[in-house]
Amino acid sequence: MYCHFNRLQSRVDELEESVMRLNARMDQAGGTSQTVNAPAEVIIDNGDEQHHADAMGAVIFENEMESGYFGPSSNIFFLRAIGQVMLRASNFTLSSAPANQDSSATSRRVSGPFGVNGTQRSSVTQHEAASEALTSDDEDRIIDSFFTNTGYLFPYIHEGRFRTKLESLRGCPPRQRPRSWLGLLNIMMAIAISADRSGCLDALQRGKKSQVYAQRALFHCKNRMMQGVNIETAHFLLLLGQYLQGTQKPSEAWTVSGLAVKVVLQLGLQTNATSIGLSPIDQEIRKRTWLACVSLDRMMSMTFGRPSSLPGSYVKVSTPLQYPESERPDSVTLAMEQKDPSNVSFFAATVKLYSVVFAILDRLYGQNLDFDDPLPGRDVITRIFEIEGSLIDWEQSVPKSLATISASDLADYLQAQDMTDTAEQRLKLRTILTLRYLNTRLLLHRPILSRMLKDMSCSNTITNDNALLEQFGASSISASLVNATDIIELVRTATTSPSAAQKDVLGAWWFTLYYTFNAALTVFACYLICRTSATNPGSLDYMTTLDRINAATQSLEALDRNNQTVDRCRHCLRTLVDATMHMGQNLDQEYLLDQMFYSHDLGFDTGFGLDELFVGSDGSSALNLGI
């Protein structure tokens, strides 16, 4: 019966390929394709309907309603609050565009995440696949990059087993290679290429190259990920979700992460009961996969400002452990985790930290549902203090080898000439864990800043009825400034150090961009509050703000080359600073549009203005914010 099913499945695969070849020939005959053997259209698409925001919830690229809901914990929500205060202080509102006006006038079309034109649909052709053919050595180098970066930080794919299977399948005909495994291989290569800034390729080149592998992965798995469910399907979806976080495809990133949640629940990875009878190594893989899915869910909830898909009560499994020594299979190379198992402690610390993130989102942001009445000020303060205690406990639980690091200590380590590969990897783990920790503290104190900004956007002064909240606001602003400045200095040190090109300690660029942009917005929000407030706990004036924002833009400029998403955030920060010079002036609308909302000599052609960043909650493409 099983053999009969395999024959039927093979026949179905052959029919699918025949239909695709026929469609390709028909397209060529109609003048719509230049390649005969183009495979069917896949999910990843550069069509106009997708380019509305980046997939880390940092900035809006078009009409927000087309990208979905971005709630209180997202940077998009925070940026809108800042924009409302600035417009209020400038005695200025911009009405919506007339209904008959071409939408391109107010919502200018931007290119894809790596500069790919948004009007072109992408598909992988046999010609492209041939041009991207790799030798075994080239393939091994990309796999090495994956297990040195993403696969090391989120170690739910067993490197030894994967490499052993890779070697065993290299000599097999293509039809004998499992499609689910081929899909996993290709998405691993896609994310490795996209995240690797150490080579000579810029973001545009990496984006084009990685997209070929991502589409190839989807070609192999797009049907099976909705039908047959196994651990490889879960791994594929988790990696695809992580890959999409580095794109301007928020809808796809959110949808794929939700699908990953459904798959791991279907596999029963949330409970140890389904692992009874399996080998210790398989039990550990299943546990790590579940915890990685929980971590991805928390990241998505935080960055998108949307409810978590997995309640905290669902997370009962124990923390990850090292693979049993006797269970480590032989492989062609020594696995990174075997060289230094510090990544297991790092992953365990990340899981614990994201449990604190969930508590913050649950208790202070109402799970981003945005329909509850605001918490009383005393409850906000009490909950912040309680969660501060949890963060202190977390910091004390982290092994000394992974303790948080300062920018000055990082600079000293980067200057060291005799650093081993293991020492460099541990430095990378410490730096990334520090950034995650500092960002969590910013998330914790943001509700205070958001309340103050909301008060200011209504009356231009802070008039909160709760005196206790106003009093606590000073310490909250101070904590936010310290943590935001630490993030900016840490990233600047890591990106501008003379040895930064040889020692990458930051991981995937899109996470670094998110942390830096979030920190810069926090500094700017604190400045707006201190500018109006009678007390200035951080001694924050315009020049100090300018220095810190400039440090952030300098870091982003050095972070990646030819990266439109990074450039977008740099432009946003520069324009925010420039716009503060006009706050308090009753200037005419045309002058403000020219000076505040459009780019001027920023060193690159942006093609967009600040008005697109401040999208109203009603979805208007201009600055009609109801003030």
d(CA 459, CA 473): 18
* Model confidence pLDDT, tens digit, residues 210-230: 999 999 999 988 877 777 678
User: What is the structure's pLDDT at 173?
Assistant: 79
Q: Which residues contact 402 (CB under 8 A, 6 or more apart)?
A: 342, 345, 346, 349, 426, 429, 430, 433
Residue ranges of alpha helices (H) inside 497-541 are 509-532
The rounded mean pLDDT for the chain is 77
Segment 433-446 shows an average pLDDT of 98
User: What is the structure's pLDDT at 57?
Assistant: 57
Does the pLDDT value for residue 397 go beyond 90?
yes
This prediction's pTM? 0.81
CB 489 within 8 A of CB 409: no
Say which range, 77-86, 91-100, 285-294, has the weakest mean pLDDT.
91-100
Say which range, 284-293, 357-366, 506-515, 524-533, has the weakest mean pLDDT.
524-533
User: What is the structure's pLDDT at 337?
Assistant: 84
Q: Which residues contact 459 (CB under 8 A, 6 or more apart)?
A: none
Does the pLDDT value for residue 29 go beyond 50?
no
Does the pLDDT value for residue 301 go beyond 70?
yes
Of 304, 1, 5, 350, which is closest to residue 152 (Cα–Cα)?
350
Higher pLDDT residue, 7 or 475? 475
CA dihedral 103, 104, 107, 108 (to 10 degrees): 180
Q: Give 537's pLDDT tier (boundaries 50, 70, 90).
A: low
d(CA 177, CA 174): 5
Say which range, 73-87, 422-436, 507-521, 551-565, has the weakest mean pLDDT.
73-87
CB 597 within 8 A of CB 610: yes
Segment 424-442 shows an average pLDDT of 97
Q: In the chain, pLDDT over 70 holds for what percent of residues?
A: 70
User: What is the structure's pLDDT at 11?
Assistant: 55
Say which range, 155-159, 396-400, 614-618, has the weakest mean pLDDT.
614-618
Q: Give 116's pLDDT tier (boundaries 50, 70, 90).
A: very low
Does the pLDDT value for residue 132 go beyond 90?
no
User: What is the structure's pLDDT at 370?
Assistant: 83
Q: 169-178, 436-445, 448-457, 532-541 — which one is most confidently predicted on average?
A: 436-445
Question: Phi and psi of 609, rounded to 5°?
Answer: -120, 170
User: What is the structure's pLDDT at 85?
Assistant: 84
Which residue type occupies 302?
A: M
* Model confidence pLDDT, tens digit, residues 142-161: 999 999 999 999 999 999 99
Other beta carbons within 10 Å of 122 = 18
Helix, strand, or coil here: 28? Answer: helix
Helix, strand, or coil here: 343? Answer: helix
Say which range, 6-20, 205-219, 268-282, 433-447, has the weakest mean pLDDT.
6-20
Burial class of 5 by CB neighbour count within 10 A (0 to 12, 13 to 18, 19+):
exposed
Question: Phi and psi of 394, rounded to 5°?
Answer: -60, -45
User: What is the structure's pLDDT at 419?
Assistant: 84
CB 45 within 8 A of CB 121: yes
Q: 164-178, 291-305, 405-419 — which one is most confidently predicted on average?
A: 291-305
Segment 398-412 shows an average pLDDT of 95
Segment 97-105 shows an average pLDDT of 34
Q: Which residues pair with 609 in a beta bridge?
A: 598
User: What is the structure's pLDDT at 300?
Assistant: 95
Which element (helix H / strand E) includes 624?
none
User: What is the structure's pLDDT at 68?
Assistant: 80
User: What is the structure's pLDDT at 575?
Assistant: 83
Of 424, 538, 352, which is closest to residue 152 (Cα–Cα)?
424
* Model confidence pLDDT, tens digit, residues 173-190: 777 888 888 999 999 999
User: What is the structure's pLDDT at 460?
Assistant: 52
Q: Give 373's pLDDT tier (boundaries 50, 70, 90).
A: confident
